[in-house]
């Protein structure tokens, strides 16, 4: 049962609003623009702002007439909400308004452990495209993309369709890095944040800034399962809607548009 009275609609990006690392479709953009005229819309993802710009903002196109209200009501939470961006209408740019960085010493340890782990050759974590990176330092989050950041979608979908590889990788890495939380996201990704931080924390930080509570929010995501990077909002008591992909998300959004 979808609660239509919520003031804030929060969405995961990869696998929810768009396919993994693929551009936002025009009809999804149109639906989100319509929704943003009536609700506060939040997009939260393990991706960096750069990924948001390429995957989401490049194809997000409100009309000139609607831009002011749509951008006023749209909030971006990259790297699982450890950064927050809001649009400055006058400057015509996205401004970072909040950040929770990983301490330097911990980041160094994470990167060292990941380099050694990947070098063992377990689970065939090899870039599909020569020169592509498996590990990305997103400042407030470290992300592993097992086949590289820009691997073709068809290869990504078959590498770990049931999340069993990543569940095991998560378990093994958390034993080596007890100071972090590791969550599964996208098709081949694992997001690494300092202990105690996850999407739920990022969303709660936003709610505090807006002087609202979890009762005001609903979260829509595809990875709402134990170990998934959309699971923490569910555990935190935020009303959640699980979807199988962008097509189902479109049908859900239509229910909120009056």
Q: Are residues 37 and 161 in the same domain?
A: no
pLDDT at position 1: 67
Q: Which of 175, 194, 213 is the last residue before a domain boundary?
A: 194
| 145 pLDDT tier (thresholds 50, 70, 90) | very high
Tell me if 94 is assigned to some domain: yes
Tell me if 2 is assigned to some domain: no
* Integer Cα distance of 238 and 232 in angstroms: 9
Q: Are residues 216 and 186 in the same domain?
A: no
Q: What is the CA radius of gyration of the chain?
A: 18
pLDDT at position 204: 95
Q: Provide the percentage of residues in the chain whose pLDDT is more than 90.
A: 74
Q: How many domains does the chain have?
A: 2
* Integer Cα distance of 59 and 242 in angstroms: 24
Q: Are residues 71 and 35 in the same domain?
A: yes
Q: Give residue-wise pLDDT tens across range 105-116.
A: 999 999 999 999
Q: What is the DSSP string of 75-133?
A: EEE-GGGTEEEEEETTTTEEEEEEE-PPPHHHHHHHHHHHHHHHHTTGGG---SSTT--
Q: Give residue-wise pLDDT tens across range 159-181.
A: 999 989 999 999 999 999 999 98
pLDDT at position 86: 95
CATH assignment of the domain containing 220 = 3.40.50.1000
Residue 121's domain comprises: 104-194
Sorted by sequence, the CB contacts under 8 Å of residue 246 that are 6+ apart come out as: 15, 16, 17, 18, 19, 25, 28
Give pTM, 2 decimals.
0.80
Tokens representing 183 are 């969550």
CATH assignment of the domain containing 166 = 3.30.1240.20
Closest CA to 13 of 245, 213, 179, 170: 245
Q: Are residues 95 and 134 in the same domain?
A: no
Tell me if 123 is assigned to some domain: yes
Q: Give residue-wise pLDDT tens across range 18-62.
A: 998 889 999 999 999 999 999 999 999 988 898 899 999 999 989
Q: Is the dihedral of CA 230, 234, 240, 241 positive or negative?
A: positive
Q: Which of 167, 194, 221 is the last residue before a domain boundary?
A: 194
| 5 pLDDT tier (thresholds 50, 70, 90) | confident
Q: Which of 172, 194, 216 is the last residue before a domain boundary?
A: 194
pLDDT at position 26: 94
């Amino acid at each position: 049962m979808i609660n239509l009275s919520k003031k804030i609609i929060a969405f995961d990006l990869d696998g929810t609003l768009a396919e993994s690392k693929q551009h936002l479709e025009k009809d999804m953009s149109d639906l989100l623009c319509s929704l943003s005229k009536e609700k506060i819309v939040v997009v939260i993802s393990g991706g960096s702002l750069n990924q948001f710009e390429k995957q989401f903002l490049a194809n997000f196109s409100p009309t000139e007439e609607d831009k002011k209200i749509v951008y006023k009501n749209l909030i971006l939470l990259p790297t699982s909400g450890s950064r927050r961006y809001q649009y400055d209408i006058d400057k015509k740019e996205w401004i970072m308004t909040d950040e929770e960085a990983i301490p330097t010493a911990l980041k160094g340890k994470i990167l060292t452990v990941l380099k050694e782990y990947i070098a063992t050759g377990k689970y065939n974590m090899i870039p599909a495209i020569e020169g592509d990176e498996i590990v990305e330092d997103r400042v407030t989050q470290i992300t592993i993309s097992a086949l590289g950041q820009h691997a073709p979608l068809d290869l990504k979908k078959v590498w770990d369709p049931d999340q069993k590889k990543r569940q095991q990788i998560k378990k093994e890495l958390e034993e080596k890095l007890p100071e972090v939380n590791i969550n599964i996201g996208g098709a081949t990704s694992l997001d690494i944040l300092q202990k105690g931080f996850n999407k739920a924390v990022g969303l709660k930080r936003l709610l505090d800034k807006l002087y609202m509570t979890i009762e005001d929010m609903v979260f829509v995501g595809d990875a709402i399962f134990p170990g998934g990077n959309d699971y923490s909002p569910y555990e935190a008591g935020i009303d959640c809607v699980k979807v199988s992909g962008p097509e189902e998300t479109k049908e859900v959004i239509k229910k909120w548009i009056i």
